[in-house]
Chain A
Amino acid sequence: MTKSELCVHIEEALRTEEAANIVYMEHLTAIVTRSGLSPEKIKTARQICEYLIDWNNQHSMRLKQLLLKLNGESANDF
């Protein structure tokens, strides 16, 4: 895979899974508190949402760092 192809894939991953999931999870975290579930289930659901947000943020940061690193690379094949 060429460097530009790899960059396109990383950018696409950032636009889809990482950024979008964070937005969805932020809303779901709030929505779940009003879902009518038991407090224990709400707590679990919120923890999962928060966990996913955290991981998506970390992925997003890593992908951005990777993009920066790739742009600084002279090699074209990966």
Chain B
Amino acid sequence: MAVPGVQVLIIMNNNNKSSLKLRLTIIPVILLTMGIMTAVLYVIVRTILFITSDYPLIEKVLALALLLAEIFLLTHGIGYFSEILIVAIRRKSLSSVVNREQPPSSWPPIAVVVSSYKEPLEILEKTLTCFYNMTYPNKSIYFLDDTRYDLPGLDAAQMAKYRQDIDAMCRNLGANVFRRRWHDAKAGMINDFLSFLRGQVKEGFEFIPSGNTQYKGQEKYIAVFDADMNAFPNFAEPLVTMMESRPKLAFVQTPQYYTNFEHNRIARASGLLQVVFYEYICEGKDLRNAMFCCGTNVLFRIEALNDVGGFDESSVTEDFATSLKLHLGGWESAYNSKPSVFGMGPEDLGAYFKQQFRWALGTTGLLCNVVRKFLRNRKALPLAVWWEYLLSSSFYLIGIVYLIFQICPLLFLFFNMPSYLAAPKVYAAVFIPYIMLTLSLFFWSLGIRGYFFSDLVQGQLLMSISFPVYIKAAISGLFGVRGKFVVTTKGKTNTMSLRTVWVQIAFLVFNFAAISWGFNRLYYERELVAAIMINMFWCLYNFLFLTSIFYFMRRQE
């Protein structure tokens, strides 16, 4: 994946800045507006056709499901293009921006923390080494050891050895160790640590002052990292500068870039999927004061966290839930697009599905909460911020949308329903302009940031084969299943059995059968030729996307 910060440096070094920097011209704004307009037009035409057509009940239900799926996709598409539009209009440029605010006269103390649950020592050592080498002058490093040494069935000697190794490593790398009586994973751990900083010592706390304790309790900010995230030396200064110049700023989020993409296709594809989010979406959210925290590579104002009662412990995506609490509490948020933290993405499909399940479960679980809060107190936040929260919390319903898109062409080819699909002229008139323009805009906008078509497709492939995971997570989230915090496996790969991806395989077979049946219908029926061909095309499209499961399942050392 391309890294904007590095690109900016290279561009500046090559004295070739103007060649890549796209100044605001009328063309991008017109194109983006047209993209949004064609999407809206398509929805209107589809809705009118649905309302005016006379279908049998079963077809009505299916047609409604398809219409809703399309509206969902278009709403998110419009959301995406509106983010680009707002970046283009407000920044007068679509290229990456480097913050140039003046640093404060003195640097307030900060706590740099990593919460770890039984993470491998070699990964932690790199993370703590990077903390140690941060150039920020007044920092205290805290290792929040969330490993459960008391769980039954564990090898006591092995766990004692692990604990000793952790303590020795922290001693060597100047990190204070903090332990507590376990509850509520990462959110609970950080909340307990914040209590500890406030001087509220609870039963079961353990503190080993093996690092700098000069500022203990005086820290103004807390930098939170995942165990596998390696911060570069200048991580904190630009963020503290932003915080100091904006007293209502609760947190500044920075991007998360994976660098294990070279030899691992899952890490590569998931990283490429992330860039879609960390480029324009985050920048747009930042400009609307609607950026939410992503759990790692973030600097919080401790006062703001204390003000809203700390991290939200009711969700597995405590970062997202806490962001909403902060915004509702009148605090602001920001995004700094300069990448200064690099880490490892999931390296096999199992780890990726686990990560995606947790993210999808957490954010979809908060959808009802967001809607409830919006209905109860709409004026608590500007409409643009509610819109952003609704988009983000509903995004993982995409799995259900994929399922509907898979089922509809199959039903048409096998059972000739819903007949709603058999309107090729309407498709040609409104769907083709819409799809061509929106896809071109998507790839063009990311192309400006240095991402190639072939790269982005990999990310989209990975997302599309994850649809059963998203469906399971979305249903669980909507029904209030809380789920457990599961650490994403790092540094090793495991092969998935075909049984675990039976849904994808089943749809692969159905699509293949449907294409074959479509040829059969074309040859013998000689009716509805255009409609059959359109649906065969979608089956082929789905089939090709699903075949990527074999590419992603291949074991890599």
Interface residues of A (CB under 8 A from B): 11, 15-16, 19-20, 23-24, 26-27, 30-37
The answer to the question of B47 belonging to the interface, with a C-beta cut-off of 8 Å to chain A, is no
A23 x B129 contact (CB < 8 A): yes
Q: Which residues in B have their C-beta under 8 angstroms from that of A19? A: 125, 129
**A-B interface pairs (CB < 8 A), number:** 53
A35 x B259 contact (CB < 8 A): no
Interface size in chain B (residues, C-beta < 8 A): 25
Question: With A11-B172, A16-B132, A33-B262 in contact, do A27 and B10 touch (Cβ < 8 Å)?
Answer: no
26 contacts between A and B (CB under 8 A): A11-B172, A15-B129, A15-B132, A15-B133, A15-B172, A15-B173, A15-B174, A20-B133, A20-B233, A23-B126, A23-B130, A24-B230, A27-B259, A30-B259, A31-B3, A31-B6, A31-B342, A32-B6, A34-B2, A34-B3, A34-B450, A35-B2, A35-B7, A36-B2, A36-B7, A37-B10
Question: 15 extra interchain contacts, Cβ-Cβ under 8 A, other than A27-B259, A36-B450?
Answer: A15-B133, A15-B174, A23-B126, A24-B230, A24-B232, A27-B230, A27-B342, A31-B6, A31-B257, A31-B259, A34-B2, A34-B450, A35-B10, A36-B10, A37-B10
Q: Which residues in B have their C-beta under 8 angstroms from that of A20? A: 129-130, 132-133, 233
The answer to the question of B261 belonging to the interface, with a C-beta cut-off of 8 Å to chain A, is yes
Nearest Cβ distance between residue B492 and chain A, in whole angstroms? 17
The 5 closest A-B pairs by CB, nearest first: A30-B259, A27-B342, A20-B133, A27-B259, A19-B129
Closest to A23 in B: B126
Task: Determine the distance from Cα of A37 to Cα of B125 in the docked complex, in whole angstroms.
Answer: 32
Task: Determine the distance from Cα of A54 to Cα of B260 in the docked complex, in whole angstroms.
Answer: 19
Nearest Cβ distance between residue A35 and chain B, in whole angstroms? 5
Of residues 100 through 128 on chain B, the ones whose CB sits less than 8 Å from some CB of chain A are 125-126
Closest to A21 in B: B133
Question: With A16-B133, A20-B130, A35-B3 in contact, do A30 and B261 touch (Cβ < 8 Å)?
Answer: yes
Task: Determine the distance from Cα of A74 to Cα of B172 in the docked complex, in whole angstroms.
Answer: 24
Task: Determine the distance from Cα of A29 to Cα of B188 in the docked complex, in whole angstroms.
Answer: 36
Closest to B342 in A: A27
Task: Determine the distance from Cα of A35 to Cα of B260 in the docked complex, in whole angstroms.
Answer: 15
Q: Which residues in B have their C-beta under 8 angstroms from that of A26? A: 259
Nearest Cβ distance between residue B556 and chain A, in whole angstroms? 15
Q: Which residues in B have their C-beta under 8 angstroms from that of A35? A: 2-3, 6-7, 10
For the residues of A in contact with B, the DSSP-based class is helix
The answer to the question of B1 belonging to the interface, with a C-beta cut-off of 8 Å to chain A, is yes
Q: Which residues in A have their C-beta under 8 angstroms from that of B132? A: 15-16, 20
Task: Determine the distance from Cα of A11 to Cα of B1 in the docked complex, in whole angstroms.
Answer: 36
Closest to B126 in A: A23
Closest to A16 in B: B133
Q: Which residues in A have their C-beta under 8 angstroms from that of B262? A: 30, 33
Contact with A along B1-42 (1 / 0, CB 8 A): 111001100100000000000000000000000000000000
Q: Which residues in A have their C-beta under 8 angstroms from that of B125? A: 19
Closest to B260 in A: A30
Q: Which residues in A have their C-beta under 8 angstroms from that of B172? A: 11, 15
Q: Which residues in B have their C-beta under 8 angstroms from that of A34? A: 1-3, 6, 450
Nearest Cβ distance between residue B94 and chain A, in whole angstroms? 16
Nearest Cβ distance between residue A42 and chain B, in whole angstroms? 11
Q: Which of B7, B259, B261 has the most CB of A within 10 A?
A: B259
Closest to B261 in A: A30
Nearest Cβ distance between residue B232 and chain A, in whole angstroms? 7
Task: Determine the distance from Cα of A34 to Cα of B261 in the docked complex, in whole angstroms.
Answer: 10
Nearest Cβ distance between residue B459 and chain A, in whole angstroms? 14
B230 x A23 contact (CB < 8 A): yes
Task: Determine the distance from Cα of A16 to Cα of B131 in the docked complex, in whole angstroms.
Answer: 10
Q: Which residues in B have their C-beta under 8 angstroms from that of A30? A: 259-262
Closest to B272 in A: A34
Nearest Cβ distance between residue A55 and chain B, in whole angstroms? 17
Nearest Cβ distance between residue A31 and chain B, in whole angstroms? 5
Nearest Cβ distance between residue B230 and chain A, in whole angstroms? 5
Task: Determine the distance from Cα of A42 to Cα of B132 in the docked complex, in whole angstroms.
Answer: 29
Closest to B341 in A: A27
Q: Which residues in A have their C-beta under 8 angstroms from that of B133? A: 15-16, 20
Contact with A along B327-356 (1 / 0, CB 8 A): 000000000000000100000000000000
Task: Determine the distance from Cα of A69 to Cα of B126 in the docked complex, in whole angstroms.
Answer: 26
Q: Which of B129, B172, B232, B261 has the most CB of A within 10 A?
A: B129
Closest to A30 in B: B259
Nearest Cβ distance between residue A19 and chain B, in whole angstroms? 5
Nearest Cβ distance between residue B400 and chain A, in whole angstroms? 33
Q: Which residues in B have their C-beta under 8 angstroms from that of A23? A: 126, 129-130, 230
Task: Determine the distance from Cα of A11 to Cα of B172 in the docked complex, in whole angstroms.
Answer: 8
Nearest Cβ distance between residue B250 and chain A, in whole angstroms? 29
Q: Which residues in B have their C-beta under 8 angstroms from that of A37? A: 10
Task: Determine the distance from Cα of A32 to Cα of B130 in the docked complex, in whole angstroms.
Answer: 20
Task: Determine the distance from Cα of A16 to Cα of B2 in the docked complex, in whole angstroms.
Answer: 28
Contact with A along B288-300 (1 / 0, CB 8 A): 0000000000000
Closest to A45 in B: B10
Task: Determine the distance from Cα of A19 to Cα of B130 in the docked complex, in whole angstroms.
Answer: 9
Closest to A14 in B: B172
Task: Determine the distance from Cα of A48 to Cα of B556 in the docked complex, in whole angstroms.
Answer: 27
Contact with A along B376-405 (1 / 0, CB 8 A): 000000000000000000000000000000
